[in-house]
Each structure stands twice: as C-alpha cells, then as structure tokens.
C-alpha cells in the first residue's frame, strides 16, 4: 500500500539550528548567523558500502516510479507538517512506506537548518538499502557565513569564488574592527550587480573583499579581508563598511589596495540571503595547493562521499549555472570580462571540467544529475552525468504545457546515449510560486500530462511538498497522484511494468505537408532556407548549414499553415563541436516561429513568465530528432528561426511537417499511456490499434480515480470525473489531457 499516515506523535523534537561562523556583530541585512557552539555536521557512523546501483529498486522496477523530493528534508528539519518535525520514527515510517527514495539537503551549504538531517538520511539508507538516497546540492553558490568558515579552514580560498569588478582604494586602511569608512576611486561601481544582462541595484548591503596587490599586480588573495558594505557616497567616493563579521580576520592595507565585489547567487537581490558564487573558470586563481575553484569543489564533495555520505547513491546538482553573470572577473586579474569570449567560454568549459573531474572522483556507481528545465548551462556537462532534473515540466511555470515538444526534446536527449549509464532523469512536481500552489496540486489535466510525460520518457516523478511555506500545521497528503498508484487500488509504484514499445509521436503517422522534399533534400526545399552570411548545401542526404558569423542564425519557410490549428515539425539535427569549446560539449538550439507580420507565434505565457514562441533542444555531434509543435494557429503561414551560439556546421535531415498536435503514446507490460497536449486540436486514440503498436488488440480500462481532500479540507473530484474505472469500449478523444490505462486481458 502507498501513502499510509501514522498517528501524529505527541513529542516533537525542537529545531536545532545550523551554526554559522561566530559573528562578533550583526550587519543590517547581512546573512543571519544562528548561535550554536560549533558549525559542524553531526557525527555519523558510516557502514561499509559494497552496493552497486543495480541494487536500487528505482533503477530496476517498472513504471511509474517516484521519489520524495526535498519534502524529505523539510518534513524533518522545519516546522511542517504537524507532528513530524524532528520525530525520527514518524519520518522513517512515512518515507519508507510511501516512496522509493529521497532527495534532500544534508550539508551546510545553503539552508541553515539541514545539518541534523544527515544521521536520519544515513539510517534510512541503512535500513532500506534498496531505496535511492541523493544529496541535493547548490552547485552555484554557498551561504556566505559557511563559505567564510570554509575559507578560514582551507576548504576554499578567496580566489575560488567569482567577483565583479570593483575599484582601487585611496589611502591606507588601518586594522580596526567595527565601522570603517573606505575611500575608493569610483564608489559608483558598488551596490550594483550584473544579473542576466540587467544592471540590478542592491536595496540592502553588499559584501566586498579588500585585497593588497603583489609585485606582479595580481591580488594577494591570502592577505585579504571580507567586509560588509552598508552604504556608499558617490560624490566623495566613500564606502561605509563593517569589519570582523563571522570571525573573519581584520587586517591593515597599504594605499593602492583594491576593493572587489563577490558575485551573489542567492534567491533574490537586496535581501539577506547572500551566497558566494563558485568560480568555474578553467583559468581561475589557484590556492597554495595548486587548486582552482573546480578542484576545490570536487575535493569538497569527494571527501564527503568518501566519509559521511558514503552510503548515499549520488548527488542532484542544483543550479549548476554560470550564464547569469555576463560581466565578471573569472581569472583574477581585477578586470571584468564579458561577451561571447571570457567569461562565458572559460566558465562553460569549466562546467565541463567540473563534471568530468567529479565523475572521476565519485566513480561509476554514483548517480549525478543536473538541472534541465532551462538549458543555458546543462548542455555543457558532456556525458558525465546520468541525467537531468526538470523542476516542473516542461518548465516550472508552464501549466499549459505550451513547451511540451521542447520538454520532450530535453528529456529524450538525456534519456538517450548521451549520458553515463544507468540513465536517471526525474521531474519535480513543483511549479513557480507566481502560480497559486493551492491550485497546482489538485488532480487536473496538467498533472495527468506531467505524469504521462514522465512515464513515456522513462523518467521518475520526484514528489514535492504541496504546501506554501506558511502552512505550518499541514499534514502530509493522504494520497498520491492517481496515475502513480493506480488510483483507488493505491498500489506500489511500478504498476505499469516496463515499456514493451517505443515512445510514438503520432503526428509522424499523418501526411507530410512537405511531401517528402525535406527527406529527399530537393532544391526547392533547400531554397526555403535563408540567412545572412550563411550557406546551405546538400551533403549526401543532409543539408549542411555553415555560418561565417560568431553564432548561427538562419530561417526556414514559409510553411503553409492555412486552415490549420496545430502543426508539428520533425528535424534530425547534428552539429560539429563549437571550436571554442571541447568536442564533447553540446549546443543549445533555439527555434522561434513568426507569422507573416513578424509576430512571434505560440509558446508559453503563464505565471508571470513569458517565453513566447520558444522551442529548444540540446544538439551535438550525433544525430538527434528535434520536434517542435505550435497550437492555436491563426496565421496562414509560419517561418521558423534557428539560432545557437555555436558557429560550426549544422546538419539537418529527415525534415517533415504535419497538420496534427504532438500527441504521443507508449505501451507497457500492464498498461498504456496516451497524451495530447493541445487545447486547439482533439486527438482520437483507437487504443486497440494505434499506428506502430507492438501489441494491438489488447483491452484496457480506465483506472478508478479517488476524491482528493485538499489542505483546506475541500473535497475535490477532478480525477474521478476522468478516471472512471470503466472499460474502454470505443476510441478515446483527448484534448489537453492524458490517461493511464490498465490492461484487462
């Protein structure tokens, strides 16, 4: 049985807080430093680890599969749900009965209160070796108080983080703890941050690093001092600073010192959630042991997985990104680089080097995943990871699944031969907070499509907490999504069994609007392509696209769409490696559609985030099928624009276009999953004889849905109306919906 809830225990363990570096004086808006005797992980007795990944149920059992996402962490170390916080027995009972594994934080890197999770996570793995346990780790940045402690004990050093360009100081600085006024040449460079191309202003304070220069003009990293800036005066070029915070040493500085700015990678700008960003540049400064930031972070994680995390099955790398900062000093020369060269190229190469070295350090029997719902950086990690995490799906605000085809592109790329085996990709049942979370977690067409996409791509569902942060008294849900546990039968996961056929894209079985010209590569088809300083030439059965520019940008069309509501296009694409990067690194392909007036067509516009008309996919040197689809068409023709920062040769083949939505199905040992993401076109599924079926003629019934009582006590029957439990006796028509069907013969 799934989702059993034991009675709430009477005793709740009080929260214990993460200790920060000792802080002599609190800075306004500075990161909080909870008081504790020491900032250390709990002592954990680690058993010998003789397992391999082949022993995990998550990698061997059937579909659907699901694990607990960070609710496994939050339910134990925070103030929800009622009765479980700090109660090890209750926590263990809940997560062992209801999930096939857990993903959560146990290291002191981002949240202040996760340290006490480690012993209970280890015990969970000891008692349930068949279950998967992954560390969730912020790979972009670390909380400032913990990073400063790590710098003082030699785990990291100041050159291992990224900086923005600052200003040269004026005059000497005396050794004095407390409030200090610093004189600089240009105070206007402070209290700004270049974030995703925008010059953002800090509303609170800002951290800075004062550093003397060596005779060669480079920073003397070991003689520097971190200070917290509370204000600045542009007219007289002064900065107000607090010194000696978090136990950092206070030093004196000669005239000519520099004041530079650590890049901040917290959840927002201007609050007290400060995190120092790791420097992934291959040319980043090295410490006395010869380690750059990549080496130091690999050492940090490697030592944990060799000791207190030895029984863990791997690591979920969160926000492994470098693209947010478009003007940073990555090589430690006190000058910020920008543009397509440094820092982007060197930082992107650094992500690849990090992935390679981490895999070498952890070995083949640890799972490593990386964010995949936004492709900006995860395409750079080569084949060293086992798969991706999608936080929400297709991305974390797309409740309309407007990017269905793009989501499948991203998922299938990392479920193919482009990753380290075994493959492990998961979708987090989480959406952005701009959308009402209370509505998101009700059974609905969105969640049926979400779960269907996971099943047909052989991905795992990572169940996230359905409550807002302020819902402190809520209990764990009394049920899972019906599709995951076979509805009212409430069975173990895996009830569909293994796939017995491939994922089938049904649009491909409809007539090709291009009449085969994109397969033959006819002259008339090639004439549909255009681009400035770009050539298009037939290369065997492929079209070779060569750009003489720094990036590739070209158009294809127009494609006649008169009278259509949906169109789905298939392209088989490969691309030579970017000459500025490593051969095994991939590129991000962006495709946009335009109507004759130049207006962007399709895409997502939901939850406060607009990704209008955007389709995307990873591409690399091996051929991969890229699918794009557009719905609710109103234009008589479309023109597609292809772009990527890689300017090497791109190859296209097997191009077809279809007047149909991107409906899909997949057969399993004990069931069938069907899905149509479109709202503008129905799709009728003849479940006994779909195109390309491996086992035609099987009989099915719908699962029996169950009512859902939400956190406010309202009984909802959304699932019951769709999942009726009735036999399938006629073709099923779906619009923006999906079904999990049970075999009856």
The residue among 187, 166, 4 whose CA lies nearest residue 94 is: 4
Mean pLDDT of 459-471: 66
- pLDDT of 437 above 60: no
Higher-confidence residue of 115 and 631: namely: 631
Which of 162-176, 381-395, 420-434 is the most confident on average? 162-176
- pLDDT of 300 above 70: yes
> Among 153-162, 447-456, 476-485, 632-641, which is the least confidently predicted range?
476-485
DSSP 583: T
> Among 198-202, 226-230, 426-430, which is the least confidently predicted range?
198-202
Which of 306-310, 399-403, 602-606 is the most confident on average? 306-310
pLDDT band at 250; cut points 50, 70, 90? very high
Which of 33-47, 104-118, 209-223 is the most confident on average? 209-223
- Do 137 and 99 touch, CB atoms closer than 8 A? no
The model's pTM? 0.88
Taking only the tens place, the pLDDT of each residue in 307-332 is: 999 999 999 999 887 766 667 888 99
Name beta bridge partners: 315.
135, 368
- Looking at residue 199, what is its pLDDT? 52
Mean pLDDT of 620-646: 93
> Among 52-56, 205-209, 302-306, 463-467, which is the least confidently predicted range?
463-467
- Do 663 and 440 touch, CB atoms closer than 8 A? no
- Looking at residue 234, what is its pLDDT? 92
Q: Calculate ∠ Cα 7-11-12, nearest 5°.
A: 100
Mean pLDDT of 20-36: 36
Mean pLDDT of 228-245: 93
- Looking at residue 32, what is its pLDDT? 32
Higher-confidence residue of 440 and 299: namely: 299
- pLDDT of 366 above 60: yes
- pLDDT of 370 above 50: yes
- Looking at residue 14, what is its pLDDT? 29
- pLDDT of 289 above 60: yes
Mean pLDDT of 37-47: 41
Higher-confidence residue of 631 and 16: namely: 631
Mean pLDDT of 696-722: 84
- Looking at residue 88, what is its pLDDT? 84
Taking only the tens place, the pLDDT of each residue in 651-708 is: 999 999 999 999 999 999 999 999 999 999 999 999 999 999 999 999 999 999 988 7
d(CA 607, CA 431): 9
- pLDDT of 738 above 90: yes
- Looking at residue 613, what is its pLDDT? 65
> Among 171-175, 371-375, 517-521, which is the least confidently predicted range?
371-375
- Looking at residue 376, what is its pLDDT? 58
- Looking at residue 643, what is its pLDDT? 94
- Looking at residue 418, what is its pLDDT? 80
- Do 266 and 127 touch, CB atoms closer than 8 A? no
pLDDT band at 42; cut points 50, 70, 90? very low
Following CA atoms 286, 290, 294, 297 in sequence, which dihedral angle do they give, to the nearest 10 degrees?
-110
- Do 673 and 486 touch, CB atoms closer than 8 A? no
- pLDDT of 421 above 80: yes
- Looking at residue 109, what is its pLDDT? 87
- Looking at residue 405, what is its pLDDT? 94
Cis bond leading into 259, ω under 30°? Answer: no
Higher-confidence residue of 615 and 40: namely: 615
Taking only the tens place, the pLDDT of each residue in 179-190 is: 999 999 999 988
d(CA 309, CA 107): 10
Higher-confidence residue of 553 and 2: namely: 553
> What is the chain's mean pLDDT, rounded?
83
- Looking at residue 508, what is its pLDDT? 98
φ, ψ for residue 720 (rounded to 5)?
-65, -35
- Looking at residue 338, what is its pLDDT? 61
- Looking at residue 6, what is its pLDDT? 35
Residue with tokens 């543009």: 339
d(CA 18, CA 37): 10
Q: Sign of dihedral through CA atoms 375, 378, 382, 383? A: negative
Mean pLDDT of 50-72: 87
- Looking at residue 728, what is its pLDDT? 97
Mean pLDDT of 276-293: 95
* Alpha carbon distances (Å) from 29 to 109, 161, 381, 662: 19, 21, 35, 49
Taking only the tens place, the pLDDT of each residue in 377-400 is: 556 666 899 999 998 899 877 888
d(CA 583, CA 406): 24
- pLDDT of 434 above 80: no
- Classified as helix, coil or strand, 349 is helix
φ, ψ for residue 187 (rounded to 5)?
-75, -15
């Amino acid at each position: 049985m799934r989702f059993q809830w034991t009675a709430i225990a009477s005793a709740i363990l009080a929260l214990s807080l993460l200790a920060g570096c000792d802080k002599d004086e609190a800075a306004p808006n500075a990161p909080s430093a909870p008081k504790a005797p020491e900032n250390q992980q709990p002592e954990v007795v680690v058993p010998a680890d003789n397992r391999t990944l082949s022993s995990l149920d998550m990698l061997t059992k059937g579909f659907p599969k699901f694990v607990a996402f960070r609710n496994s962490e939050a339910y134990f170390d925070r103030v929800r749900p009622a009765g479980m916080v700090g109660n090890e027995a209750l926590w263990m009972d809940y997560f062992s009965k209801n999930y096939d594994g857990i993903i959560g934080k146990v290291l002191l890197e981002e949240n202040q209160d996760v340290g006490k999770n480690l012993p209970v996570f280890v015990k969970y793995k000891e008692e349930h070796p068949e279950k998967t346990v992954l560390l969730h780790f912020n790979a972009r940045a670390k909380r400032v108080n913990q990073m400063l402690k790590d710098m003082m004990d030699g785990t990291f050093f100041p050159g291992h983080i990224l900086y923005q360009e600052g200003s040269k100081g004026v005059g000497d600085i005396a050794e004095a703890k407390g409030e200090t006024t610093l004189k600089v040449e240009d105070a206007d460079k402070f209290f700004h941050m270049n974030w995703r191309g925008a010059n953002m202003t800090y509303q609170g304070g800002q951290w800075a690093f004062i550093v003397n220069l060596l005779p060669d003009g480079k920073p003397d990293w070991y003689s520097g001092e971190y200070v917290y800036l509370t204000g600045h005066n542009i007219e007289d070029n002064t900065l107000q600073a607090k010194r000696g915070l978090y136990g950092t040493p206070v030093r004196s500085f000669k005239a000519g010192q520099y004041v530079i700015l650590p890049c901040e990678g917290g959840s927002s700008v201007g609050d007290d959630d400060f995190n120092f960003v790791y420097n992934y540049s291959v040319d980043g400064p090295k410490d006395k042991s010869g380690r750059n930031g990549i080496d130091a972070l690999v050492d940090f994680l490697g030592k944990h997985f060799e000791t207190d995390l030895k029984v863990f099955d791997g690591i979920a790398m969160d926000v492994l990104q470098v693209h947010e900062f478009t003007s940073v000093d990555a090589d430690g020369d006190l000058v910020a680089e920008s543009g397509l060269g440094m820092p982007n190229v060197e930082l992107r190469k650094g992500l690849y080097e990090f992935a390679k070295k981490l895999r070498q350090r952890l070995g083949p029997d640890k799972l490593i995943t990386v964010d995949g719902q936004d492709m900006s950086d995860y395409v750079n990690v080569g084949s060293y990871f086992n798969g991706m995490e999608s936080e929400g799906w297709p991305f974390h605000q797309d409740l309309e699944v407007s990017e269905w085809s793009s989501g499948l592109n991203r998922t299938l790329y990392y479920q193919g031969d482009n990753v380290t085996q075994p493959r492990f990709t998961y979708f987090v049942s989480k959406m952005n907070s701009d959308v009402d979370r209370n509505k998101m977690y009700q059974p609905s067409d969105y969640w049926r499509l979400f779960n269907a996409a996971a099943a047909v791509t052989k991905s795992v569902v990572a169940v996230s907490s359905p409550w807002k942060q302020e819902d402190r008294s809520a209990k764990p849900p009394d049920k899972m999504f019906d599709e995951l546990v076979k509805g009212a039968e409430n069975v173990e996961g895996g009830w569909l069994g293994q796939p017995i056929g491939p994922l089938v894209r049904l649009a491909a079985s409809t007539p090709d609007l291009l009449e085969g010209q994109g397969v033959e590569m006819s002259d008339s088809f090639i004439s549909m392509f255009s681009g400035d300083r770009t050539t298009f030439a037939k290369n065997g059965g492929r079209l070779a696209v060569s750009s003489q520019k720094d990036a590739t940008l070209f158009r294809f069309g127009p494609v006649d769409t008169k009278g259509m509501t949906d169109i789905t296009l298939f392209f088989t694409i490969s691309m030579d490696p970017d000459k500025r990067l490593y051969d095994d690194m991939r590129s991000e392909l962006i495709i946009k559609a335009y109507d004759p007036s130049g207006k962007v067509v399709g895409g997502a516009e939901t939850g406060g985030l607009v990704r209008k008309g955007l389709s995307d996919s990873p591409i690399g040197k091996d051929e991969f099928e890229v699918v794009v689809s557009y719905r609710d068409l109103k234009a008589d023709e479309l023109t597609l624009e292809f772009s990527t920062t890689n300017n090497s040769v791109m190859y296209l083949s097997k191009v077809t276009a279809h007047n149909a939505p991107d409906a899909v199905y997949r057969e399993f040992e004990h069931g069938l999953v069907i899905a149509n993401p479109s709202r503008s076109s129905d799709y009728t599924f003849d479940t006994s004889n779909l195109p390309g079926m491996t086992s035609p003629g099987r009989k099915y019934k719908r699962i029996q849905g169950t009512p859902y009582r939400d956190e406010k006590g309202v009984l909802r029957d959304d699932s019951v109306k769709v999942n009726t439990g009735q036999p399938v006796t006629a073709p099923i028509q779906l619009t923006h919906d999906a079904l999990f069907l049970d075999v009856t013969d």
